[in-house]
Chains A and B, each alone.
Chain A
Amino acid sequence: MTSPTPPQEMTMDIFLKGIWEENPVFVMLLGMCPVLAVTNTTINALAMGLATTFVLLCSSILVSLLRHAIPKQVRIATYIIIIATFVTMVDYLIQAISLELYNALGAFIQLIVVNCMILGRAESYASRNGLYRSVISACGVGAGFTLALLCLGTVREVLGAGTLLGYPLFGPSFEPWVVMVLPPGGFFVLGCWLLLFAWLRQRKDRTTEALRHGR
């Protein structure tokens, strides 16, 4: 609202940026702890992604609304308290929705507080932009985060347990690749996704290069 100098980005661009160009997991490598820890099943990954998105969205709204009132010296402390508030809320909400899910996610619900991604977005985007843009951006980044968690969760569940969302996929003769749902599998699967994206990026670069030379 008060930043007329940069040309207003298209709403869709802000949203998509969070999903692809600035994907918090695959590009920025932020908030890795939950990414690796709770993605052993698809449903856990989805719940974690939605919970994080909720916290991100709410804290972005509040930070953006209060951005002129928060003095610079105490801004980090303020953001942390705002985030901790919403995380406590999510913590109790999930307990009320399903105790089973709560036990599966364990301490990682409360550890959303220290997800650097949320503090990072509050500091670098919500505190400098109006409500509308902050909300769109938070939705985009949240969606990107959830998508990334789902990418990992699906692969790990399908390979490691032979199921998808709890339903068996391959029949009884399938011997699950157990290491995938164990901690090392988290590192390996994320590493493979990063390799895939690096390869895609390199191929795209090469194509543009070839096009330029051809012209």
Chain B
Amino acid sequence: MNQIPVVHKEIPPQLPFNSCAIIRTLTLIAAISGLLVVLVVEWTRPQIAANQRQAVEAAIFAVIPGAVQWRPFTLNAEGEVRQNASAGGTHIYTGYDEHGAIVGFAAEAASQGYADIIRLLYGYRPDCHCISGIKILKSAETPGLGDKIFTDSDFIANFTALDTRLDAGGQALLHPIVTVRHGKKENPWEIDAISGATISSRAIGRALDESASALLPQLMRQLPQFTLPEETTP
């Protein structure tokens, strides 16, 4: 975009009229379009950021019941915790109560569903060593069948306290999260599938299992790193 005016200046005036006209028009159009785009982008930027923040906040508070404030963290490839949401790595959102004590964590998980990848946010509470809620962020599951993962209250009830205790060494989940046939749930680490939406239910179980078994051991090891920084406590 920015190069076109430069080209314009370099064109000597004795060129045939036609290419002059072309360059002049393209410069004009480029200038108009650049101006308009930048104006709108600058004008809408704060509103868009606010909307996104609001959406993230609503999702976090939905999966960590009891949280009233949150901070973003990242866990990079070496397993170090950063208090910077824009750094590379896994994003972890920490939820705190009104006194600034940690209530729980929220992280994203994803797995291939029936139609496309299902992305979800899940909450983890260290006090009960359990998953405290999930929220589907993106899915293209079949309406009427697979999209019951949004609406089926029995299915959602699986995730109010899904057992994710770690084993004695703190390296892996004591019991891997598994999806079982509808009505066959016996243990707190099992997910009762929706009948008619087996693949979607399994996808969620798989997403949670993969993400939790990778993330939770690291999370529990570095729990103090996530305490609310003093200077930002309101």
Contacts and interface: CB of A to CB of B under 8 A. Distances in A.
Interface residues of A, number: 29
A62 interface: yes
B143 A82 contact: no
A55 to B, nearest CB: 12
Contacts of B25: 66, 69-71, 74, 78
A30 to B, nearest CB: 24
A71 B22 contact: yes
Interface residues of B, number: 27
B40 interface: yes
B47 to A, nearest CB: 4
Nearest to A181: B143
B22 A96 contact: no
Q: Tell me whether chain A's interface is mostly helix, strand or loop, or mixed.
A: helix
A88 interface: yes
A178 B40 contact: no
Interface in A77-94: 77-78, 81-82, 84-86, 88-89, 92-93
Contact of B40 (A78, A82, A89): A89
B128 interface: no
Given A74-B22, A85-B37, A182 B142 contact: yes
B26 interface: yes
Interface string B17-41: 0100110111011101100110011
A81 B143 contact: no
A161 interface: yes
Contacts of B33: 81-82, 84-85
Interface in B124-150: 138, 142-145
Given A71-B18, A73-B22, A93-B44, A182 B143 contact: yes
Contact of B37 (A66, A89, A96, A182): A89
A1 interface: no
A176 interface: yes
B148 to A, nearest CB: 12
B55 interface: yes
A142 B21 CA distance: 32
Given A66-B25, A93-B44, A99-B55, 9 more contacts: A62-B32, A71-B18, A78-B26, A81-B30, A82-B29, A85-B33, A160-B143, A178-B142, A181-B143
User: Closest 7 interchain pairs by CB?
Assistant: A85-B33, A178-B144, A96-B44, A96-B47, A89-B40, A99-B51, A92-B44
